[in-house]
Structures are given as C-alpha cells and as structure tokens.
Chains A and B, each alone.
Chain A
Amino acid sequence: MQPRRVVRWFALLAAAVAATAVTAAEPAPLLAIYGDVVHTMAGPPLEKGVVLIEAGKITLVGSALDIPVPPAARVLRGRVVTPGLIDAHTAVGLTGYLNQEQDQDQLDKGEPIQPELRALDSYNPRERLVEWVRGFGITTIHTGHAPGALVSGQTMVVKTVGETVGDAVVVPAAMVAVTLGDDARPGDEKKSPGTRSKAVAMLRGEFVKTQDYLRKLDLGDPEKRPDRDLRREVFADVLRGRLPLLVTVNRATDIDAALRIAKEFGIRIVLDSAAEAYLVADRIKAAGVPVIVHPSMRRGGSGETENISFETPATLRAKGIPVALQSGFEGYVPKTRVALFEAAVAAANGLTTEQALATITSDAAAILGLADRVGSLRPGLDGDVAVFDGDPFEYTSHCTAVVIDGRVVSEEPR
C-alpha cells in the first residue's frame, strides 16, 4: 500500500498545482507491448507489431521485427493490441452500481434547465462500474449528467483511473447535456416542458437571453456589466463555440428540432442516441453533425427507441457521418452497458472490424476533440492500450491487460 499512498499524495499535490488535467502523477515505466496484430487506428493494422511507451506517452509504434526490445522495458504480449478504448457517452461514476438514492447523482429533476451542474462535482472515481468497464479495455469515458431533463448539466472526459476526480480528468467540461422528446418532460403535468414545442421554445429562450447577456458583457462599461451568473456563463460558452451541446434525441422529429436549434444559434451539437437517425441521415450529414449512437442492446427498445436498429452505426458511417458508440445510461439491471460489446454488435451488423473499432477509439476521440491525445497508437499520444487474447469483438475473447498513461492497471483476464 505504501507506493499507492505516495502516489495519492503526489497526485493531490500535483492537482493543487495544476488545478486540473492531472492524469498520471507517477513516473511511468518503459513498456513494450507486442501484438500479433496491432490496430493502431492511424493506418492499417500491423502484423507482429509493437508499441513502446515511455513516461506515460507512446514513443514508437512499428514492426516487432524492426524494433528491438529495450533492455529496461517491461514487456506485455497479446494476440491483439488496440488503443485504450473510449466510451463516447456514459453516466458511470455519477450513477452508482447499487442504484440507490445515495449513489445516483446523474440527474437532478428539480429544475428543467441546469447547465451549471458540473460532472466534476459528482464523479466518484472509486465507483465499481468504473473498474468494471476498465477491465474490458475502456480507458477513457465521456461521462456526466444523464438524459432525463431538458438541460441536465455538463459532461466531462476522464480516464478510468485515479483516486480523485482530479487524478482522472482529461476535460473537466466537455459538453452540455440536453434532452429533447418524451424524456425531457419532468413527469409532473403542471411543470414545463410538457410538450416538444414547449421544450424547444424554452431552450431557444435560454439562448436568446444568453445573447443579450453577451451583448451586455461587451458593452465595455463596467457599471452596466451583468452580474455573474453560472447558468449564463455556461450557455455563453455554448454560443461562443467552446462547448457543444450533447443532444439526446431518438425520434426523427426531435433530431430535426435539434438541427434547427443548432442552425438558428450557430452552435455546435453532437447527436446522442438518435434511434431514428437513419430516417434523417441526409440532414444530419448536411449539418456536419456527429452521432454517438445508442447502445443497441439497451433494455426494452420500446417507446421512443422502439425503432432502434443494429445497423444504424453502419448506415450512418456509409453516409459519411462521424459515428461513435457508447454504453449510455441504464436505470436497472445491468447498471451499465460495455462500449466494447456495443461495438461488437456493430461489427456483426455492417461495420468492418476496423470501422467498429474506430467507433470506440479514433472516431470517438475525434468527436470528443481528443484525437491528438487518445484513440490511436501514435507517438506523442497518451500511453493507453488494451490487449486481447483474440478478436476483441468475439464474446469468448478476453481483455488480458489494460494500460493507462503507461501504467498497467489491469492484468486480470476479463
């Protein structure tokens, strides 16, 4: 336990100094990871490849025949090596596996619009589901406030390690979570939004108000500056293009509404879930909007998600729409999906192995704006790697090692 304690204290110190973005406080050892196949996601798969990681960063990727084993390196071997996997949208860490009131912090339904709620302030890095998904090779998660309110709060990106959120965080505020459709209703008939039109009107109202706020900020006269307002500040970042909206929608009607709002205010959006995206794929493509497709195995597939298709990732990709996959949010048993398994369904339904891997590696990283940090095996990127004893998508394969920032965090086959 002694080294861990040292790490923890060092991490706290580092966090205090750096405030955010502390991922690997520990000097990482030199690692050499060999695979019969290495999916770099930065080019075609390498046969007999090797990935070298030094001080937490990838330093070399190439043929094992050309690159000698560095004398001091710790060596890992596997049949298949991939970048550390990315779950492009989850609520894990805010939603706990016990599903009891005290471990559910992914949604506050007190008000319909609360963009000021930060994911940082609820994230529990010790949550068992974080460790659970990590065991299947997931090293980066985009997590935060869940769907279920018109604007439920912010999301963030973390690595699936760390003793505190400060250790884990990669992007403290990634997106603002918006829900359109039935799930935006508060459940109480007397409260708004009670209809789709009302929800859109409320959201537009917020942006109009924020435009006024920004105008007043720009007046230059300190006397006339508006008071600080957390809600306005977040929406202002959305209008400035610093924060995208993550819009959870399923019906084609609601997807269309989301695109309309994005166009009206010139804001960046990412479509989330998007069960009926295949009905409006041309419009999504024209708008240049990426889609984080629902877990195909999500429970029920009823109501607004009754028309989900195992083939949606392939359909959207064929249109040229950037696609990532996700574990989503689960309210019961099982308490989370596993993005690896969702990509496997996509691989069995129209995507090639490389394309399906991209939905949980390189393409997911690009949608999250982190392509230069994670999601592929290239020199300079974080030393995040997953090792498998067979095709990662086969049910009967195992993830045999997980490396985050050059540290081996799991070697228990799962």
Chain B
Amino acid sequence: MQPARRERHCAPPRGGVVHRIASALVAAVVGAGVAAAQDRPIAFTKADLVPISGPPIAGGTLVVIGGTIAAVGPAATTPIPPDARTIDCTGRVIMPGLVDTHSHVGGGWGGDASGPIQPDVRILDSINVRDSGFRKARAGGLTTLNIMPGSGHLLSGQTIYAKLRKASTIDDLAIRDAAGKPLGGMKMANGTNSQKDAPFPGTRSKSAALVRQKFLKAQDYRRKLAEAKGDAAKLPDRDLEMEGLLDVLDGRIVVHHHCHRADDIMTVLRLRDEFGFKVVLHHVSEAWKVADQLAKAKAPCSVIVVDAPGGKIEAMDLSLATGAVLEKAGAPVAIHTDDPVTDSRLFLRAAGLAVRAGMSREKALEALTLAGAKMLELDARIGSLDVGKDADLVVLSGDPLAVRTKVLETWVEGIQVFDRDDPDDRLFAVGGYGAGRDQKAHACCTDARLSETK
C-alpha cells in the first residue's frame, strides 16, 4: 500500500493517543448509546463555507453548539463563544453533509418472493450497521441516507432515514420524529424489475392494476376505521399491510418510486393523482423526455448518474443530461448513489458529471444536499448550513466538484464520524485489505480497535 500521507485538515488535528483515550473515557462515562453528544461548542473558522441555502462565504465562521449549527457567516460578523474549541479551517471548504435519497448500504432486504406488494416489511429489521458500506459512505461525506429495499417488487417495503452516526444498532442510526418514531418512506417500483412469474405481474398494465387494487383495499380499511369511531367492537382487525399503506394514503410517509422509462414515470404520476399520495421519482432515466410534464406536476426527481447508458432496456436512453434538462424545465432535482450501483465515496463525482452535462454548479450541489433533504421532508433539520439545523458537515480539501478534492472529515450532529488522517478511517476511504469486510463494532466503552466484533 501507499505510505499514509499526512493530509492537512482543519487544524488543530486530533491530539493523538491522549486524545483518543480521553474520547474513549468520555464515551465510557456517557455509557449506553454510541456517540457521545457534543460536549463543548466548536467554532470552525476561516473556512470557505458553501451553505447551499445562500451564496458561498469565503473565510467564514461556523459555530456548533449541542450538535446544532448555532451561527454561520462571515468572520467579521460571527462571534465565537468564549468556551468554544476553535478549529482553523484555512483553505478548507465546508458544506452540509451529503444527503443520499436512495441507498442500499447495510445489506438489508425488504420483501421476499411471496408477493409483489409487501407494505408490512421494514428495511430497518434487516440492516447490518457494521457493513463496511456505512464506513465508506461516511468517507464520501454522506451524513443522511434513505436506505431502501430493492426494486424487484411493486412495493418492497418501508425505507428508513438514517443518520451516519457511529452505531452499534439500527436504533443508533434512525432519524426520529418528535414522538420517537423512526422516519422513513415506502419503496415502490414499476417497469421491468418487478415483472416476473405470478403472483408478480407480467406486464406494465398488470403492475398498475395490482397496485391500484391494493390501494382501494386500503381506502376501504380506512373507511372502516373511520366508521368505527373508536368503538373497539366495530374496529377492523389490525393489519400491518393496511397500516403501512394508510401511512402512504394519509401522507404521513413519502413513496420513493423506482421508474426509468418515460411512460413508467407518467404512470407513477397517474397513480399519485388517483390516490393522492406523496411521491419522489427515483432514477428517472427518461425524465428528459417528459421534463415539462414533470415540472408542471411539481414532481420531485431523484436522478441516478452513471457512466454509460444501458445494462437493461429501460435504461437504454439514460442520459448524463437528465439533471440539466430537469433543472431547465424547473423540476426539483436531487441526485442519489443507489449504492452499490454507484459508490458512496464518489457521490460528489455524480454532481460533477451532471455539471459536465449542463447542470449549474449551484443546483448540482443542492441536488446532493438540500434538494434531497426536501424530498425526505427533513429540510427543517438537514441539507444546508443554517442556524438551527443539525451540524452535519463535510470538510473538503478544495472545490467539491474537483476530482482531486478529498473528503477530509465528516461530522454528524457535531461529532466527527470520519477523519481521513485516521488510518482506520482511511482504509475505508481508499480501499485495501479488509475494507470490504463487516466493520468493527463501535462499542461505547472500549477502544474499537481492540474489540473486533463481527
């Protein structure tokens, strides 16, 4: 392997062994849970800030208190709390943690082969948080993932919105609502991936009919619930499938819909309009053919950017210019990894290629952050460098879209979760022997290096 080169980060770098032992002690004191909460204000100073929600700020200051962005702005007008740990980020770029609206990291599976529509199934019940994919995603600057089941079903199950905190269990990763419920969406798909032998559909029309029938059933279930007016004797039996679909029909969760061909995209919008659910269109290989319709329908599009068209017939007209065409038409655009289809460590590259094909730099960077946050309905918490939002940050060595730029550090809620100078983290950033294995546990009370748990 290459000798580890020292790459200058925001100074001062971590304090070596003493610092690590101290960190371990802090973690030990905090006890259960994995990541200790941020204990002291941090001020990132002299950084080139890319807030996304506003113009870049050269040599700016970003203050983080209690895991939240407390101040952001030009150095002259942004005071630093007296008790803050100050980190000099001269020459560094800081942007919001990247938001991936479509990931399969963690090796989870949703629905099985028993049927095409399985809204009772949750991806959170099958994710291995020690999967090396999480370490690689952090190395790519990702901080929030929508982890989804696959596209081999019309409806393959419930997705989970995950923060890339250091984790021992899926509970540590979950993003929760005020009541503590893990947030997520519902994964659906049309086109060819979900077509196979019965009970799966054999045609596109059959696919739509099966979905419509299931939603009609859910509407009936909802009516019976309403008619019972809370009377236990009249309530229908609980039904996990129906409850999942009601979350969709009542707009509590967003449908994340795989679709490639232009006609499949329009079919999703037709179903959306019939049943009134909220939907984000994913992949959208042929969205450039119906961009005006998508803009008019205000349909959020999460685009995949890959090196070449094809691989299957419905991706034959996939274009690198999809993001550019949608931007021009005025449709909301995010970009996703679909990891493992594209590598999370190269997520910034996807935006670079979108710019190559005509997207504006501003919209391309937004597509990696705020646009995705909106599509996950998490934009009140993440996606930009704004006061009050979670302190999810990427520290870069330079221009986010330049090929030689490195992700130096990734921070989630004020806690550093990736440090390119740490040889263990670096292994997952560049690859090498052991980078593909399940990662070590991030135990709360011991040095992770000493406790290899598989």
- Interface segment, A11-19, A212-220, A345-353? A345-353
Contact with A along B132-170 (1 / 0, CB 8 A): 000000000000000000000000000000000000000
CB pair A309 B435 closer than 8 Å: yes
The yes or no answer to A336 lying at the interface (CB within 8 A) is yes
A-B contact pairs, 29 of them (CB 8 A): A97-B308, A97-B309, A98-B310, A98-B313, A99-B310, A129-B310, A132-B309, A276-B433, A278-B433, A296-B431, A307-B434, A309-B430, A309-B431, A309-B432, A309-B435, A311-B1, A331-B311, A332-B311, A333-B310, A333-B312, A333-B341, A336-B307, A336-B310, A393-B403, A395-B352, A395-B353, A395-B402, A396-B356, A396-B401
CB pair B431 A311 closer than 8 Å: yes
What residues on A are CB-neighbors of B352 within 8 Å?
394-396
Given contacts A302-B436, A309-B431, A309-B432, whether A314 and B2 have CB atoms under 8 Å apart is: yes
CB pair A397 B356 closer than 8 Å: yes
The yes or no answer to B316 lying at the interface (CB within 8 A) is yes
**Overall SS of chain B's interface:** loop
From 290 to 315 in chain B, residues with beta carbon under 8 angstroms from any chain A beta carbon are 306-313, 315
From 374 to 398 in chain A, residues with beta carbon under 8 angstroms from any chain B beta carbon are 391, 393-398
List chain A positions with a Cβ less than 8 A from chain B: 96-100, 128-129, 132-133, 276, 278-279, 296-297, 299-302, 305-311, 314-315, 318, 330-338, 341, 344-345, 347-350, 391, 393-398
CB pair A128 B309 closer than 8 Å: yes
From 341 to 366 in chain B, residues with beta carbon under 8 angstroms from any chain A beta carbon are 341-343, 346, 349, 352-353, 355-356
The yes or no answer to B340 lying at the interface (CB within 8 A) is yes
CB pair A97 B434 closer than 8 Å: no
CB pair B307 A297 closer than 8 Å: yes
Q: Whole-angstrom distance between the alpha carbons of A296 and B346 in the complex?
A: 11
CB pair B356 A336 closer than 8 Å: no
Q: Whole-angstrom distance between the alpha carbons of A315 and B432 in the complex?
A: 11
Closest B residue to A133 by beta carbon equals B308
The yes or no answer to B19 lying at the interface (CB within 8 A) is no
Q: Whole-angstrom distance between the alpha carbons of A337 and B401 in the complex?
A: 20
CB pair A395 B403 closer than 8 Å: yes
Contact with A along B387-401 (1 / 0, CB 8 A): 000000000000001
CB pair B316 A97 closer than 8 Å: yes
What residues on A are CB-neighbors of B272 within 8 Å?
none
The yes or no answer to B454 lying at the interface (CB within 8 A) is no
Closest B residue to A296 by beta carbon equals B431
What residues on A are CB-neighbors of B356 within 8 Å?
395-398
Cβ-defined partner of B316 (8 Å) among A98, A299, A309, A337:
A98
Closest A residue to B405 by beta carbon equals A348
What residues on B are CB-neighbors of A347 within 8 Å?
403-404
Closest A residue to B306 by beta carbon equals A334
Q: Whole-angstrom distance between the alpha carbons of A337 and B356 in the complex?
A: 17
CB pair B431 A307 closer than 8 Å: yes
What residues on B are CB-neighbors of A350 within 8 Å?
2
Cβ-defined partner of B311 (8 Å) among A278, A335, A345, A393:
A335
The yes or no answer to B206 lying at the interface (CB within 8 A) is no
